[in-house]
């Protein structure tokens, strides 16, 4: 009755990526009155709903990273493990609700308690999974299967797994005494892996590096500098990009189908006339879809050439995805205000900021990968490789376009949302001419600096 | 610059599955007044929004099947193909909106024209993809790559691809003259592959089977009895199950966070008291998540043992998924009415019907697979195999539970939604004891009928 875990992991990735992203909807659906200053409203949003979105996104990715680690040890599953994993997923999908409660009632301990409760139940299920899997060694990673030290491994993994629920237990106890401390502890949970890595680094500096035991290779996946499973990073990213692209049409379908009675009364029964009022929405939809699609395209091109994803690359990818998840907000803002109002310009600027950070973190992934290019990149995109310059051009296109547009909005007061969306739609053609452009520039450079070589 | 198409396909699967499923949201969000008869309101819904949902689901799966066929021929991609594919995806995600227009304004031709316009633009992009890929043969399937008849293949594929846009062109022309005919033509588009298969079967019967040319093997993927790519069927199904599971928590997060002012005024500042009012929603959420999760689990178990997915199995899978997509509606209905009202019982009955059909189509997939078990199933689940009975038990659990609950609601007037959701939550334990139960029954049968054998 044992099965390959491949599809279980794909399904978990899909669930987790959707959960991480959908929390942008309450942010995007908040109505901003045109009379209000956009900047003030966004500040108000920032303190609650955007904070909920970002916290959910980060904590869910932490849960996802833990899930990756766990299923790097357990490589085959059976029915019982599949059901236990589904129970974990159910609790993870409930986490966004606890954050909503925390944001709406920051002074009330109930949100913290519910959150800690969920994490602690997950913290009970996961050790059960580990103990169950170690009692049936044929489910485990081959390295552990053949090892003689299984009990030792089991204890180590259980120790790592129980750190987070224990922190949450302490947080829930403190919530009754001094609840600000609980929030601090929850923030620590997100950064715990990095803190423990830092502590280990300090200890090594102080006492000199501890000699690695011959078995430490097996722990590779349980060390902070472990490589993430590249396949699962891709699956998770695909889920986020796909849900962001489709949230847009969902809004269109719910909001932009006119009422038959209104069409009859206001437009004399002409549906075409009624739909013309929605012109900016359609344009915004196509513009946003193109942006999401192309950001996915750049991500796809980048990860084609990545051979191993380090922890830092995973973190940068998470940051990039968190901004990609913000695009529905950008879509919502850009078509909401009358043309040439100050709010419209600020909405475009917010969009530019979101696109800029989403793409600049992608560029950062590449820079980090280049830093240890022997391990992480395919030879032809390494420095000096034939695809190197083209990859750089691809990755820097969106940051440049976003920055350029931002400054355009500062200079040109006539700049408007339709122009912005039209710009978004023309970017794919830039990708198509990019390869040509890079070739021409390279040929020119060669002609200028070494004209003798063929 | 050529790349494996794997991730492009995974991303397309995710996009298409989400688009197919999200159209249930406008259905689920329609408020049903408690004073109305539920049956009447659902009938009203059926004629418009549920029809939109089902039509979207079916047409999107047709587009998805065409996408599978196309990328069985083109197995490697480059940047240009990736961008063209994204353009196709953008148009596919726009289709639900055209259906919304059609449903809201059935007498207006604009919806039909928009739909046909989208399909015709896709019908321009896909031939471009084919021509581009054939001009760079290293992108093609190996069989076609080495063949001498490439031009012939190209023409055949183009002929198959242009059938749907041509039908849509005719439909858009007829929409000005006699628009009912256009709807009939759109319905034909969905069933076109089956119609052509039937015509071919008739021709074979009348004129005797045509001798197959030696090259016809290559066309295997372009014949109506082609096997679908099993991997992509799984990816598509995962997407549908994942989005359905997460639509639930999205509703919870948007609707069930109380307003601080209301909590202060009505509940004297006690958040716990305020949240108690939402008890049924939480129970409904957990019940529905468990149901979706277990339906995925059964699907996962089934496809673990399937070696090849035939077209008919794909069709049954689509029907099953269409009902799975209806589960958010069931969730919405069951917690909306006061306890022990007639509407509540009817809501539970609708849920049972949805769960019954979702699971009975899964069972049908297995029955169809058993029919040609040598080709489609792993040996140990074939008739007489060691897992055969257990698989049957797994697949028939949900139809039995749904039917049983349906009859319980007819007999017991005290049956209520909380009991229903508690039942849903206890089903996983049934799965865990099922294996035990099957063993006991098998042992008993052996004891009764052949007591001599060990």
Tens of pLDDT along B338-362?
A: 777 778 888 888 899 999 999 999 9
Helix, strand, coil content of chain B in percent (nearest 5): 80, 0, 15
Single out the residue of A394, A382, A401, A392 nearest to residue A432, CA to CA.
A394
Give the closest residue to B58 by CA, choosing from B199, B163, B186.
Answer: B186
What pLDDT does B226 receive? 56
> Is the minimum CB–CB distance between B25 and chain A shorter than 8 Å?
yes
Cα distances (Å, whole numbers) of residue A274 to A252, A256, A268, A335, B95: 15, 10, 9, 17, 19
- Chain A segment 242-301 residues within 8 A of B by beta carbon are 242-243, 245-246, 248-250, 252-254, 256-258, 260, 263, 271-272, 275, 285-286, 289-290, 293-294, 296-297, 300-301
Best to test chain A binding among B99, B109, B249, B428 (most A CBs inside 10 Å): B249
DSSP H or E stretch at residue A163: helix A150-177
Angle value at C-alpha B424, between B420 and B430, nearest 5 degrees:
130
Q: How far apart are CA B99 and CA B134, in angstroms?
A: 34
pLDDT tens-digit series, residues A417-432? 888 888 888 888 887 7
- Chain A residue at shortest CA distance from B22: A250
Q: What pLDDT score was predicted for residue A224?
A: 40
Distance CA B178, CA B185 (A): 12
Q: Per-residue confidence at B382, pLDDT binned at 50, 70, 90?
A: confident
B408-452 pLDDT tens trace: 888 887 778 888 888 888 888 887 788 788 888 888 888 888 777
Strand B3-4 relative to strand B76-77, pairing: antiparallel
**A274-304 b/e with 16+ CB inside 10 Å = b?**
bbeebebbbbbbbbbbbbbbbbbbbbbbbbe
Comparing B236 with B164, the larger pLDDT belongs to: B236
Q: What is the pLDDT of residues A187-199, one digit of tens each?
A: 887 777 667 767 7
Give the model's pLDDT for residue A359: 95
Q: Of A279, A248, A275, which is closest to residue B105 (Cα–Cα)?
A: A275
A450 pLDDT higher than 90: no
The CA distance from A414 to A391, in Å, is 34
As beta bridge partners, residue B417 has none
* End-to-end CA gap in chain B: 63
Q: What pLDDT is stored for residue B303 in this prediction? A: 92
Q: Which residue has the tokens 């030290």?
A: A149
Q: Considering only the beta carbons, identify the residue of B90, B97, B293 that sits closest to A252.
A: B97
Cα dist from A178 to A166, A174, A189, whole Å: 18, 6, 18
Q: Does B83 touch chain A (CB under 8 A)?
A: yes
Q: Do A297 and B3 touch (CB under 8 A)?
A: no
- Any residues with CB less than 8 A from the CB of B385 and at least 6 apart, and which? B378, B379
Q: What is the pLDDT of residue B330?
A: 84
Most confident of B116-120, B330-334, B380-384: B116-120
Cα gap A409→A254, rounded to integer Å = 31
pLDDT single digits (tens) A16-55: 998 888 878 877 777 776 666 777 777 777 777 787 788 8
Q: Which of B129, B6, B152, B141 is nearest to B73 (CA)?
A: B141
CB B78 within 8 A of CB B139: yes
**Residue for token digits 């496809």?**
B303
Mean confidence (pLDDT) of chain A: 83
Residue A269 phi, psi (nearest 5) = 80, 5
Task: Please give the average per-residue pLDDT across B30-36, as a whole number.
Answer: 70
Three-state secondary structure call for residue B324: helix
- The pair phi, psi for residue B372, each rounded to 5°, is -125, 60
pLDDT value, residue B440: 87
Share of chain A above pLDDT 70, in %: 92
A267-305 pLDDT per residue, tens: 887 888 888 888 888 888 888 899 999 999 999 999 988
Q: What residues of chain B lie within 8 A of the CB of A86, using their CB? A: 293-294, 296-297, 428
pLDDT at A3: 80
How many CA atoms lie less than 13 Å away from A113 in the CB half-sphere?
Answer: 11
Structure tokens at B195: 């119609």
Q: What token pair was written down for A120? A: 């602690």
pLDDT of residue A217: 38
Instruction: Grade residue A447 by pLDDT with cuts at 50, 70 and 90.
Output: confident
pLDDT above 70 covers what percent of chain B? Answer: 92
Residue B30 has pLDDT above 80, yes or no: no
Contact B3 A387 (CB under 8 A): no
Residue B326's closest CA among B19, B21, B14?
Answer: B21
**pLDDT tens digit sequence for A210-245:** 554 434 434 434 444 456 788 889 999 999 999 998
pLDDT at A183: 83
Q: Do B293 and A23 touch (CB under 8 A)?
A: no
pLDDT tens track for A150-206: 888 888 888 888 888 898 898 888 888 887 888 888 888 777 766 776 777 688 778
What does pLDDT average to over chain B? Answer: 83
Break chain B into its structural domains and give their ranges: 3-216, 230-449
Percent composition of chain A: helix, strand, coil (DSSP 3-state, to 5): 80, 0, 15
- A83/B432 Cβ within 8 A: yes
Selected residues 315-374 of chain A with any CB under 8 Å from a CB in chain B: none
Q: Output the pLDDT for position A272.
A: 85
Q: Are A388 and A352 in contact (CB under 8 A)?
A: no
Which residue does chain A place closest to B388, by CA atoms?
A1
Q: Structure tokens of A57?
A: 């996104």
Average pLDDT over residues A323-337: 85
Contacts with B253 (C-beta within 8 Å, 6 or more apart), sequence order:
A22, A23, A26, A96, A97, A100
Which helix (H) or strand (E) element contains residue A76? strand A76-77
Partner residue facing A254 (CB), from B10, B25, B94: B25
Looking at the partner chain, which of B29, B257, B435 has a beta carbon nearest the beta carbon of A101?
B257
DSSP of A319-379: HHHHHHTTHHHHHHHHTTS-TT-HHHHHHHHHHHHHHHHHHHHHHHHHHHHHHTHHHHB-G
| Residue A213 pLDDT | 45
Residue that wins the pLDDT comparison between A82 and B334 = A82
Q: How confident is the model at residue B221 (pLDDT cuts 50, 70, 90)?
A: very low
pLDDT score for B84: 92
Residues of chain A neighbouring B271 (CB-CB closer than 8 A): 101, 105, 108, 110
Neighbouring-strand partners of residue A228: A309
Least confident segment among A385-394, A444-453, B193-202, B234-243: B193-202
Kindly tell me if the per-residue pLDDT of B396 is higher than 70.
Answer: yes
Partner residue opposite B83 with nearest CB, options A4, A275, A428: A428
Mean pLDDT of A396-416: 87
Phi, psi values for residue B163, rounded to 5°: -60, -50
In angstroms, what separates the C-alpha of B86 from chain A's closest C-alpha?
Answer: 7
Q: What is the CA radius of gyration of chain A?
A: 25
With a cut of 90, say whether residue B320 has pLDDT above it. Answer: yes
CB contact under 8 A, B100 and A253: yes
pLDDT, residue A430, reads 82
B228 pLDDT band, cuts 50/70/90, is confident
B259 contacts A100 by C-beta, under 8 angstroms? no
pLDDT for A255 beyond 50: yes
Span B164-210, pLDDT tens digits: 889 889 888 888 888 788 888 888 777 776 677 677 768 877 876 55
Q: What is the DSSP string of B72-139?
A: HHB-EE-HHHHHHHHHHHHHHHHHHHHHHHHHH-TT-HHHHHHHHHHHHHHHHHHHHHHHHHHHSGGG
Write down the pLDDT at residue B453: 62
Is B138 in the A-facing interface, judged by CB distances under 8 Å? Answer: no
Give A413's DSSP letter. T
Bridge partners (DSSP) of residue A2 are: none
């Amino acid at each position: 009755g044992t099965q390959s875990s491949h599809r279980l992991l794909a399904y978990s990735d899909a669930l987790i990526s959707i959960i991480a992203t959908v929390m942008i909807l309450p942010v995007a659906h908040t109505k901003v009155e045109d009379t209000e200053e956009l900047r003030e409203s966004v500040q108000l949003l920032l303190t609650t709903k955007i904070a909920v979105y970002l916290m959910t996104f980060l904590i869910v990715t932490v849960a996802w990273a833990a899930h990756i680690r766990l299923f790097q040890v357990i490589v085959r599953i059976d029915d019982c493990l599949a059901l236990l994993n589904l129970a974990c997923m159910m609790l993870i999908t409930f986490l966004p609700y606890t954050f909503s409660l925390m944001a709406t009632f920051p002074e009330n301990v109930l949100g913290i308690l519910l959150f800690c409760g969920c994490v602690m139940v997950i913290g009970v299920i996961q050790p059960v999974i580990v103990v169950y899997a170690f009692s049936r060694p044929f489910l485990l990673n081959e390295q552990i299967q053949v090892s003689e030290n299984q009990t030792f491994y089991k204890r180590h993994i259980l120790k790592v797994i129980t750190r987070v629920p224990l922190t949450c237990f302490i947080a829930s106890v403190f919530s009754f005494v001094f609840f600000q401390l609980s929030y601090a502890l929850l923030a620590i949970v997100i950064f715990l892996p990095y803190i423990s890595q830092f502590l280990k680094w300090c200890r090594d500096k102080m006492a000199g590096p501890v000699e690695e035991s011959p078995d430490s290779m097996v722990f590779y996946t349980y060390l902070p500098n472990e490589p993430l499973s590249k396949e699962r990073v891709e699956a998770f990213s695909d889920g986020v990009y796909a849900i962001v692209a489709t949230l847009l049409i969902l809004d269109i379908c719910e909001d932009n189908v006119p009422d038959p009675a209104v069409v009859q009364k206001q437009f004399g029964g002409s549906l075409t006339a009624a739909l013309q009022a929605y012109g900016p929405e359609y344009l915004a939809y196509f513009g946003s879809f193109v942006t999401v699609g192309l950001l996915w395209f750049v991500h796809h091109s980048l990860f084609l050439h990545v051979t191993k994803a380090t922890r830092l690359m995973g973190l940068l990818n998470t940051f990039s995805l968190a901004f990609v998840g913000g695009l529905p907000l950008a879509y919502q803002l850009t078509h909401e205000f009358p043309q040439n109002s100050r709010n419209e310009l600020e909405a475009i600027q917010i969009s530019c900021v979101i696109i800029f950070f989403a793409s600049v973190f992608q560029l950062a992934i590449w820079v980090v990968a280049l830093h240890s290019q022997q391990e992480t990149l395919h030879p032809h995109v390494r420095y000096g490789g034939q695809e190197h310059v083209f990859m750089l051009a691809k990755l820097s296109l969106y940051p440049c376009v976003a920055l350029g547009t931002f400054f355009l909005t500062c200079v040109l007061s006539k700049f408007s949302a339709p122009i912005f969306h039209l710009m978004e739609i023309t970017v794919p053609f830039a990708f198509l001419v990019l390869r040509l452009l890079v070739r021409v520039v390279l040929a020119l450079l060669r002609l200028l600096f070494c004209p003798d070589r063929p």
